[in-house]
Amino acid sequence: MCGIVGYVGTKDAATFVFDGLKKLEYRGYDSAGIASINSQLDIRRAEGKLINLAMKLQAEPLIGSIAIGHTRWATHGAPIERNAHPHADEANSVAVVQNGIVENFMPLRLQLQAEGHLFKSDTDTEVITHLIDKSLAEGHNLTESCRLAFRQIRGAHAIAVISERESDKIVVVRIGNAGGVIIGLGHGENYLASDIPAILEHTQQMVFLEDGEMAVITANAVQYLNLAGTPIHKEIQTIGWDPVSAAKGRFRHFMQKEIYEQPQSIQNTLRGRVNFTTNQVNFEGLKLTSAEAQELRRIIIVACGTSAYAGLVGKFVIEKLAKISVQVDYASEFRYRDPLVDDKTAILAITQSGETVDTLAAMEEGKGKGARLWSIVNAQGSMAHRISQGTILMQAGPEIGVASTKAFTTTITDLVMLGIYLGQLRGTLSTKDREEIITTLACLPELAGEVLAENYNDYDTLANLYHRQEHFLFLGRGPNYPIALEGALKLKEISYIHAEGYPAGEMKHGPIALIDERMPVVCIVTQDHVYDKMISQIEQVRARKGIVISLTNEGDEAVAAKSNHVLTIPKTHPLTTPIISVIPLQLLAYHFAVWRGADVDQPRNLAKSVTVE
């Protein structure tokens, strides 16, 4: 989704901003641009990838020590240069970038056009430029002109503005939950970004704007105020991510790197939460007493995409360990169906980015109805983190590839620990069962490492054989059913192969009609209580001449004998199997995408952080 970067100081601002935009590429975009002020405002914009903007900057460099830049993900108007940000007023003296949507842009545009303003783009953003221009013409200073403009627009946005009139400052605002606004504090220079990785190499001292807050950033100071114009105090936070971990290192793609980081991220997730001596889990961050845990009647998990599939695994785990009913809702549907929520309900939002607008809206819905609000979040300081009463921070580290991988497995690890923790507090988990599952948790990093070390040639062979295929089915049962969904999602999002995930028992109610000798069917069949049921699904696929690709436990000759191809994983506890069984499916999707020559880290039409509805 759109990214914003800004710089004010003494350095070459356009270069700084360009480098920052590169670090936000993972969010997805279709055009980009930068505005800088030397004695006058100057703008370069380009369609497509940042390389096109780089070529323009090389041909006509931007001079100046103040700049704002933007990567655009089109909502209003085609992804062409004319619609790329920054947008300037007619006199080319004010430049604006926006992440979000101006919902009332049409009446504002008509009103401004009637007053004689000429529009150069099809975007909603351009109205902001003209509104600011209008207030400047009426004699207001830049900050006040911005504030007056921001108060007229409806929707959710992050907006940054620079102007020739006061060329020492960037004015920025956050309205609603459309996108993060982070101010980075340097020495004799200050920065602005939509997301931490854009500026982390320059500073760890950051301030996060909340809904309705503005900042006026100069090289040596930052002033904070609300939309009423009243100065406010903001706390500075120190962010601890290692900048090196945001780089690709020895891997060809970020997704590949992130798949291979999973043993480490699972380890980090367990560290400090599980006491392997006392076999206890501690999630103090949830701020939950034993009595409150016992009173809880229901947990509703709200999330989107991969995070929602992790939630489906969580349902199996938490219901089993903590004997509490768990419901999983797509966040995008939750708020539109008047859900039954009360003060005995905990809403658990799962979100890697912490900025997914549907998930944030579902959280607000639950909170408004009196629920306890928890989240599992990867991005420290994100909106979801800040509005939750209790948060479990994922410890996945920065996830750059648009296709989520390590955030999925760390989330499931968190959900298993949450199940144990609630089981402890509610007295539903015997000491023996607790010991058994905690012992299993301790082995997970090693098992994930084993999966990564094996099967490499098998993925490549399968990708070689089937990468021209246009349809795939994924089947699983029990906690492996969400893994079938996730395996299908991974394949479709990065290789553009149509793939469906199904609970295996449902196959006979429809999808079986698709099976013939051209249909590859990935069957997840691990040794658990539904093993025999999965075997009979394999038989049904074979009877219709489908191509069976089984994902099974090492040494399972019975499954191997019934399959065209086999991928194996080590055996683990049924409740932690999904953490291990998803890894071969991530790798399978990765190899298919590479064979098809797809843009693995930035699949078409997708964004890492989905900040529009």
The residues carrying an active-site annotation are 2, 608
Sole binder of ligand AGP in the list 8, 302, 403, 488 (CB under 6 A)? 403
Interior/surface letters 397-411, b for 16+ CB within 10 angstroms, e for the rest: bbbbbbbbbbbbbbb
Q: How many residues form the binding site for ligand AGP (CB under 6 A)? A: 15
**For ligand AGP, the closer CB: 377 or 534:** 377
Nearest to 493 by CA among 579, 566, 568, 405: 405
Q: Which stretch binds ligand AGP (CB under 6 A): 55-63, 298-306, 419-427, 466-474?
A: 298-306
Q: Which of residues 554-613 bind ligand AGP (CB under 6 A)?
A: 606, 610
Sole binder of ligand AGP in the list 195, 493, 556, 601 (CB under 6 A)? 493
Q: DSSP states of 395-436 as a string?
A: ------SSS--HHHHHHHHHHHHHHHHHHHHHT-S-HHHHHH
Spatial contact of 191 and 12, defined as CB atoms under 8 Å apart: no
**For ligand AGP, the closer CB: 64 or 401:** 401
482 near ligand AGP, judged by CB under 6 A: no
142 near ligand AGP, judged by CB under 6 A: no
Sole binder of ligand AGP in the list 57, 402, 483, 485 (CB under 6 A)? 402
How many Å apart are CA 39 and CA 165, to the nearest integer? Answer: 10
Q: Which two tokens stand for residue 217?
A: 């950033």
Q: Which stretch binds ligand AGP (CB under 6 A): 305-313, 548-556, 562-570, 577-585?
A: 305-313
**For ligand AGP, the closer CB: 36 or 353:** 353
DSSP class of residue 231?
B
Q: Which two tokens stand for residue 213?
A: 């807050």
Nearest to 77 by CA among 25, 117, 119: 119
How many Å apart are CA 331 and CA 80, to the nearest integer? Answer: 32
Q: DSSP states of 151-184 as a string?
A: HH--EEEEEEEEEGGGTT-EEEEEETTSS--EEE
In whole angstroms, the minimum distance from the beta carbon of 310 to ligand AGP comes to 9
Q: Which stretch binds ligand AGP (CB under 6 A): 5-13, 229-237, 301-309, 462-470?
A: 301-309
Sole binder of ligand AGP in the list 9, 305, 445, 578 (CB under 6 A)? 305
Q: Which stretch binds ligand AGP (CB under 6 A): 25-33, 299-307, 452-460, 475-483?
A: 299-307
Interior/surface letters 451-465, b for 16+ CB within 10 angstroms, e for the rest: bbeebeebbeebbee
Q: Which of residues 179-238 bind ligand AGP (CB under 6 A)?
A: none
**For ligand AGP, the closer CB: 180 or 263:** 180
How many Å apart are CA 88 and CA 107, to the nearest integer? Answer: 20
Q: Quick check: helix, strand or coil at residue 367?
A: helix
In whole angstroms, the minimum distance from the beta carbon of 382 to ligand AGP comes to 9
Spatial contact of 44 and 18, defined as CB atoms under 8 Å apart: no
β-pair partners for 223: 216
Spatial contact of 414 and 578, defined as CB atoms under 8 Å apart: no
x/- mask, ligand AGP, residues 121-140, rule CB under 6 A, reads --------------------
Spatial contact of 474 and 309, defined as CB atoms under 8 Å apart: no
Spatial contact of 130 and 138, defined as CB atoms under 8 Å apart: no
306 near ligand AGP, judged by CB under 6 A: yes
Q: Which residue sits closest to ligand AGP, CB atoms considered? A: 305
Measured in degrees and rounded to the nearest 5, phi and psi for residue 405 equal -130, -70
Q: Which of residues 336-395 bind ligand AGP (CB under 6 A)?
A: 351-353, 356, 359
**For ligand AGP, the closer CB: 269 or 352:** 352
Sole binder of ligand AGP in the list 71, 98, 307, 576 (CB under 6 A)? 307
**For ligand AGP, the closer CB: 99 or 353:** 353
In whole angstroms, the minimum distance from the beta carbon of 351 to ligand AGP comes to 3
**For ligand AGP, the closer CB: 146 or 582:** 582
398 near ligand AGP, judged by CB under 6 A: no
Residues near ligand AGP (CB under 6 A) = 304-307, 351-353, 356, 359, 402-404, 493, 606, 610
